[in-house]
Each structure stands twice: as structure tokens, then as C-alpha cells.
């Protein structure tokens, strides 16, 4: 018959098992604490980044306000140059690089003549037939075509191209809408985008943008007749203000505003659009 273990041996085995449970419990507690600590540090870093980016956004907006104030100065010689080199301003702990671009130096597809749009497409490398066809499609889309087609005919053209929509015959509301026009490929849209605006006049101002300048110069060669520019107050300008703020904790925020400035305006200026991405 097997002899029972003495009480001291049983106590040692029970104590060893209890010690093992305690050790595993401590390991589990350490793991939980480590996990909570890591999560807490991650959340703290996220919170710090959010605070830094919010401060950077405020600095960018402050630089835009400073630019508006400067451009409203009644002394032209004191104003920052438009389409000149970027200007750096310090706001708190942030360095903000500000660029001022004359919106009148871009082409407005809602107002431009099909001849001007065709010239722009040619300068960007489209062949004459494609340029003429796409310019006409853009005019049909925005409702500015001098030879308007019927809605049924336009719908039929888009259906033939495998598209389930047609031109609205109304001005573009966003620049991305241009990518839906028949013939405007993603590559062509990317090429057109830097030279377009929804806030400029019908007749762009040559000079600042060499592509637009070349397109305007082509107009006589393709038989276009230049209409006299619409009268506007001499002191009113439309400016694109781009402010890129860089600061602590790797914060980097870029804000853009399109602003109309002039003493004839009710408050001296009007913000037409603002945000991280502006058409």
C-alpha cells in the first residue's frame, strides 16, 4: 500500500502551486499595466498632435488675416507684392510662409470663351482637333456655348461614351466637376487645374502665369475676337492667399483663402472661399 505524503511535503507542494499562481497573476497585472501605459502614451501623443495642428491652423489663419490687412493699406507702396516671392511671418512659435497670387491671372472656365479654353488646351499639348472638341464640351457643360446643342443631343453624346450623366448647362460649382466633362481625362485635368479659377474674370491678366500668357497670345491666331473686359472698380483685386504654418511637434498646416479686396466693398474685403483646399 502506497504511503501518504507527510503533511510537510503537502504544504510545500501547496505553497509552490500558490506561488506559481501569484507569479502568473503578477505577470498578467504587469502586462495590463504595460498595455494601459502604452495606450495612454499613444493617446497623449495624439492629443499633443491635435493641439499642435490646431495651433498651426490658427497661425495660418492669423497670417491670412495679416495679409488681408496689409493688402487693404491705402498706401500701395506699403503692400506686399502680389505674385512676388513668398513672405515669411512669425506668429507665436510658428513660422508661416505666405504666398499671394492674383486670381485674375488664371482662366475662369465658367466665363472664358471657348476660343480661350481651346488655346489653353493647345498650349498644354492637346492637338488642334482635340482642343477644339474639349473646349466645346466644357462650354456645353457650363452653358456658355455660342452654338448650344439640345439637352437630348448632349445626353446622347455622353451615353455614347458610356457615361450615365450629361452636362448640366450651368457654371461649375467646384473645380473637380471639370473632371466629369467629356474628353477631360485625369491627366488633362491635373494639367489644367493650376491655371484655372472659379473666381477670376472672363479675360485673364497675362504675365504671372506663363501658360495663361501663352494661351492669350494664341487667340488672334485661331481667329478669336477679344471682347472688351467687363468694367470693374479699379481698386478691387481678387487674391489667393496661401499660408503654410510650421511649428513645434512637427505641426504643419496649409490654409488657402480667396479674398476680394477693395475700398468700394462694404467691409473693405470679402472672403470668397477658405479652407485646406480651395478651388
- Render pLDDT for 217-273 as a digit per residue (tens, 0 to 9): 998 755 444 444 554 555 789 999 999 999 988 899 999 999 999 988 989 999 999
Rounded-to-integer distance, Cα 93 and Cα 51, Å = 13
What is the radius of gyration, based on Cα positions, of the chain?
Answer: 32
Residue spans of the domains in the chain: they are: 47-105+232-275, 114-196
**What pTM value is reported for the model?**
0.77
Paired residues of 95 in beta bridges: 90, 246
- Render pLDDT for 164-182 as a digit per residue (tens, 0 to 9): 999 999 999 999 999 999 9
Q: Is the CATH code 3.40.50.1360 the one for domain 47-105+232-275?
A: no
Query: Which comes out higher in pLDDT, residue 185 or 38?
Result: 185
CATH class of segment(s) 114-196: mainly alpha
Rounded-to-integer distance, Cα 27 and Cα 20, Å = 11
Which of 148, 114, 142 shows the shortest CA–CA distance to 222? 114
Amino acid at each position: 500500500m502506497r504511503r501518504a505524503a507527510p503533511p510537510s511535503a503537502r504544504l510545500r507542494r501547496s505553497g509552490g502551486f500558490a506561488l506559481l499562481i501569484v507569479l502568473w497573476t503578477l505577470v498578467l497585472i504587469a502586462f495590463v499595466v504595460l498595455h494601459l501605459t502604452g495606450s495612454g502614451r499613444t493617446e497623449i501623443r495624439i492629443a499633443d498632435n491635435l493641439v499642435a495642428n490646431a495651433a498651426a491652423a490658427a497661425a495660418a489663419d492669423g497670417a491670412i488675416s495679416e495679409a488681408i490687412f496689409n493688402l487693404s493699406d491705402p498706401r500701395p507702396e506699403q503692400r506686399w507684392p502680389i505674385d512676388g516671392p513668398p513672405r515669411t511671418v512669425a506668429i507665436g512659435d510658428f513660422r508661416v510662409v505666405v504666398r499671394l497670387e492674383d486670381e485674375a491671372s488664371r482662366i475662369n472656365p465658367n466665363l472664358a470663351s471657348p476660343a480661350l479654353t481651346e488655346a489653353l488646351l493647345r498650349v498644354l499639348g492637346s492637338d488642334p482637333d482635340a482642343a477644339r472638341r474639349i473646349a466645346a464640351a466644357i462650354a456645353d457643360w457650363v452653358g456658355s456655348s455660342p452654338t448650344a446643342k439640345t439637352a437630348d443631343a448632349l445626353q446622347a453624346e455622353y451615353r455614347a461614351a458610356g457615361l450615365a450623366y450629361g452636362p448640366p448647362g450651368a457654371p461649375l460649382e467646384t473645380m473637380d466637376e471639370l473632371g466629369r466633362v467629356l474628353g477631360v481625362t485625369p491627366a488633362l485635368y491635373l494639367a489644367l487645374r493650376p491655371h484655372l479659377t472659379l473666381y477670376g474674370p472672363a479675360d485673364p491678366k497675362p504675365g504671372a502665369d506663363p501658360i495663361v500668357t501663352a494661351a492669350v497670345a494664341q487667340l488672334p491666331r485661331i481667329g478669336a475676337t477679344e471682347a472688351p473686359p467687363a468694367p470693374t472698380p479699379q481698386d478691387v483685386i481678387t487674391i489667393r492667399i496661401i499660408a503654410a504654418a510650421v511649428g513645434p511637434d512637427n505641426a504643419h498646416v496649409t490654409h488657402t483663402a480667396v479674398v476680394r479686396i477693395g475700398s468700394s466693398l462694404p467691409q473693405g474685403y470679402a472672403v470668397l472661399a477658405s479652407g485646406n483646399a480651395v478651388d
